[in-house]
Structure 1
């Protein structure tokens, strides 16, 4: 059990539960039960939390206790509530679900699902040859213990060379190899953020970054991105100066989920403002390789850093393959050594074989990334065309890189649409997943990482359910799966 929610707290979370889509077709108890399931879907109501007593919730909502009793009974019948006489009722999920790798829950029978919740590509064909070459390199490491807390030297040099090629001179001593970008973020937070420390993030932002910050019990403030233009410079710099956070987590290259690219002038001003107020910047460069349409990238944010305020993180997941759990941190050499000391309490090092695979992939990076850019541009345009044809009311700013569209819907229906989409074989990441407080219901992240035909088919299905959504009756419950 993670805790207890009081009646007034749950009432606040439920909001206008009686005005949800399909409400006029449902009795009060069914609408209330559906609203509670919606809170579970958004992650605003945790699993294992004890709900208020029936009488307490009835008083908070100003409805009859009979209605609450019936709603709780329905939640028990659908597997969303467990009750024990005299002890209370706890939130849960149905038995045909399992825990996914992010702690979210995913149905077991999802093999035919068109998954638009994960913004990642299938492996490139070069992965097999890289894996074979890595096995040939492995014997020279077998005489040692196999622990390399900062990473094997070949990979650290390859990553450092990539930064240098981008105009940011970097040595291998400034690189630490991690087990993915998320692991890199976790280690930096362990080093740089005390529990309860303040952090500034963009809104919307990457959900798993929010999860990592929640794990550190961070106090989070947000800078809202404009859907069409991205960062508002004066507001972003003002937020840094006013809140003076310990850390700021930013995604300047093809921001996830909006796809915006931060201009060079703002990068320089952000670094200067961060230094002035004592804020360290965590710069997530997961999508830096995936520019399109000949877009020229601004210099790395760390280019403007003269005081070791910028810690850059990146990895192989987006341009190469998510199954290759290789990431890295670029920081000053002393910071890398401190990170290595922190890492001992988490894991000893990344797998040597995986690191060798990464070395060979990076050696062929020019060809692999070029193919990825062409592939993504074609798939992006296919998704844009399908949306323009079938859902013209949705507004989308065309990204010049990355792997996602951030669509502004024709109403605040993102979570309801995601639930309905599960029933027609499409998995979505609704807008509230990318924020803190259940807002962003008018937005939806749509990756263009699936094949063209799958993207067009997914839009066809979404269009079919969107036009019936406001008239839909009670829908069978499913939860979204991994968001990446």
Structure 2
């Protein structure tokens, strides 16, 4: 194993003696060097005592820095063998914002989750009235209630994609849908193409399957069809996971020409495509009728599986999602789900079916709220943080922001001590990339967003708040 001497680490980190707290500045410097590749992974670090002597600080200070690096996943240690550099598992490190329960009193900007629509209470009351007629059965319908599948199929048809109820499988949220699709389509060692950046939980699912991730970069301008085609061909990808409709986190929208080109490339490489349409209904600047046709409208040989969800259009607490595909593939997916949860809750399905009946009203309410919140967030960021760069997306629920701080994770920790939880760009990339970005959602009310930006600006300018939450208390491990 390669190793670094204390003098080499001191020269590379170059932490000013007046830095406060020194241990955190030292840990941040080492972490940045690992992410930049200037300190490779699996390199042995100097002993704490030797580094402390070289830096002219106490051994306790270096120990605290090493402890923080281990907590974040950038250092591994073994008794008698020393410590060596590593890269964290995004699903389990202590600074993972997705592990927050939301019960800590912080403004939750780490998740793009809108509140429930005003009609929810009335709709749920109507669903409760519907419930007795379903009580005579056993309550298990692996495909989903026919009344809901009919409405989902009708909505696809209205959007320009002819769909029958037999092509719909109701799931317990979109994450469940993604797990089902990936478990059927991808196995250990299979290449899975993903966008970079991409939805962090999609990365987790692919890794859980033992797949080999193949990133293809996108930006606010969107996808380059030739790069996607090249990546599919060179990697022999078994599956591609794409978000063509207000991509999370960039907000990019794939145009029809690119959709057709990507569909053609997938046919040539025999790649299945999992399409995530979680945000597809939220076109803030387009037509009020839902805008563009679904990606699967370009599918000519049943190689696309589409994921939909009630979480962004209506409310995440309903935990209802769905899959749309060819009837044969839907039946295979329904059989596979029996090992997971058998069926989705009846009351929630009835509620979502009722919400589909009020699509025009509830969708208009959601669009009005997101437009107001987006305008507020954009104005606040431009006023308080003018050096930050972003493009305003046509739809979706978040801004993909290029910040001007040295470390996204350190900025997130400082913001947390001032009452705001943020998600660093690293959680949407592979192997610690995208350090220079933040995803900032506009799913909260305008007044809350204004307050959040004020606190973020204070964190950027003045660092962690005195008396704020300690680093090890920012994200409870649950």
TM-score (norm 2): 0.84
1:285-296 alignment to 2 at 5 Å? 285-295=277-287
2:142 equivalent among 146, 149, 156: 149
What's the CA shift for 1:99?
A: 11
Q: CA deviation at 1:34?
A: 5.5
Secondary structure in 2 aligned to 1:58? coil
Residues 196 and 216, structure 2, Cα contact 8 Å, conserved in 1: yes
- C-alpha change, 1:424 and 1:29, in structure 2 (3 Å) is closer
Shift of 1:75: 6.6
Residue in 2 that maps onto 1:441: 435
Describe the superposition over 1:418-463 as per-residue Cα deviations: whole angstroms up to 9, x where unpaired. Answer: 1110010011011111001212111111100111111111111111
For structure 1, list consecutive stretches of 5 or more residues without a partner in the other structure. 1-5, 43-50, 92-97
Aligned residue in 1 for 2:257: 265
Q: Shift in Å at residue 468 of structure 1?
A: 3.2
2:411 pairs with 1:417: yes
What corresponds to 2:325 in structure 1? Answer: 331
Pairwise CA distance, 1:306: 1.3
SS at match of 2:117: coil
Counterpart of 1:352 (choices 346, 355, 366) is 346
Aligned to 2:194: 201
SS for the counterpart of 2:431 is coil
Partners of 1:330 and 1:270 lie apart in 2 by 19
Contact 2:130/2:350 (CA < 8 Å) preserved in 1? yes
CA 62–243 in structure 1, closer or farther in 2 if over 3 Å, else same: farther
What per-residue deviation string (whole Å, max 9, x for no partner) do you get for residues 198-241 of structure 1? Answer: 11111111111111111111100111112x31212221222122
- Is 1:268–1:304's contact at 8 Å kept on the other side of the alignment? yes
Do structure 1's residue 303 and structure 2's residue 297 form an aligned pair?
Answer: yes
- Structure 2 CA distance for aligned equivalents of residues 412 and 79 of structure 1: 17
The answer on whether the counterparts of 2:177 and 2:323 sit within 8 Å (CA) in structure 1 is yes
Partner Cα distance (1:16, 1:321) in 2: 51
| 1:187 paired to 2:180 | yes
- Which whole-Å CA distance do the structure 2 matches of 1:35 and 1:194 have between them? 38
> Secondary structure in 2 aligned to 1:201?
strand
Q: 1:332-368 deviations in whole A, cap 9, x for unaligned? A: 0000100011111111110111101111111101110
Does residue 122 (structure 1) correspond to residue 154 (structure 2)? The answer is: no
TM-score in terms of structure 1 length? 0.83
The equivalent residue for 2:89 is none
Distance 1:37 1:350, change over 3 A: farther
Mark the CA change 1:56 to 1:336 in structure 2 (over 3 Å): closer, same or farther. same
Determine the structure 2 residue equivalent to 1:249.
241
Deviation track 1:30-73 (CA, whole Å, cap 9, x = no partner) reads 54555689999x9xxxxxxxx99xx9531799946998964674
C-alpha distance in 1, partners of 2:242/2:10? Answer: 31
Aligned counterpart in structure 2 of residue 382 of structure 1, from 376, 382, 399: 376
1:131–1:470 Cα change, 3 Å: closer
1:419/1:479 contact within 8 Å kept:
no
Q: Residue 232 of structure 2 aligns with which residue?
A: 240
- Partner of 2:340: helix, strand, or coil? coil
**Which one scores higher on RCO, CA 8 angstroms, separation ≥ 6?**
1
Could you say what secondary structure the match of 1:147 adopts?
coil
Instruction: Please tell me whether the aligned partners of residues 281 and 311 of structure 1 are also in contact (alpha carbons under 8 angstroms).
Output: yes
Give the secondary structure class of the aligned counterpart of 1:25: coil
Instruction: Measure the CA separation in 2 of the matches of 1:304 and 1:56.
Output: 52
Looking at structure 1, the residues matched to 134 and 270 of structure 2 have their Cα atoms a distance apart, in angstroms, of 42
* Residue 143 of structure 1, CA deviation: 1.4
Of residues 313-322 and 292-301 in structure 1, the stretch that sits farther from structure 2 once superposed is 292-301
- Equivalent position of 2:45 in the other structure: 57
Does structure 1 retain, via aligned residues, the 8 Å contact 2:97–2:422? Answer: no
Aligned to 1:399: 393
Cα root mean square deviation, aligned: 3.9
Question: Which deviations, in whole Å up to 9, do the C-alpha atoms of 1:232-255 show, x marking residues without a partner?
Answer: 222122212222200100001001
Indicate the larger mover: 82-91 or 121-130: 82-91
> Over residues 70-110 of structure 1, what are the superposed CA-to-partner deviations in whole Å (9 max), with x where a residue is unaligned?
4674379889769997799999xxxxxx999x994337861
Shift of 1:27: 8.3
- 1:426 corresponds in structure 2 to 420
Aligned position for 2:275: 283
| Cα distance in 1 for residues equivalent to 2:234 and 2:249 | 26
CA shift at 1:194, angstroms? 1.1
Q: How many pairs were matched up?
A: 452
CA distance in 2, matches of 1:343, 1:103: 29
**Corresponding position: 1:174 with 2:167:** yes
* Residue 106 in structure 1 maps to residue 100 in structure 2: yes
Partner of 1:18: 13
Corresponding residue to 1:74 among 61, 64, 77:
64
Q: CA 1:133 to 1:422, structure 2 compared with 1: closer, same or farther past 3 Å?
A: same
Distance in 1 (alpha carbons) for counterparts of 2:370 and 2:295: 25
The CA distance in 2 between the partners of 1:179 and 1:128, in whole Å, is: 20
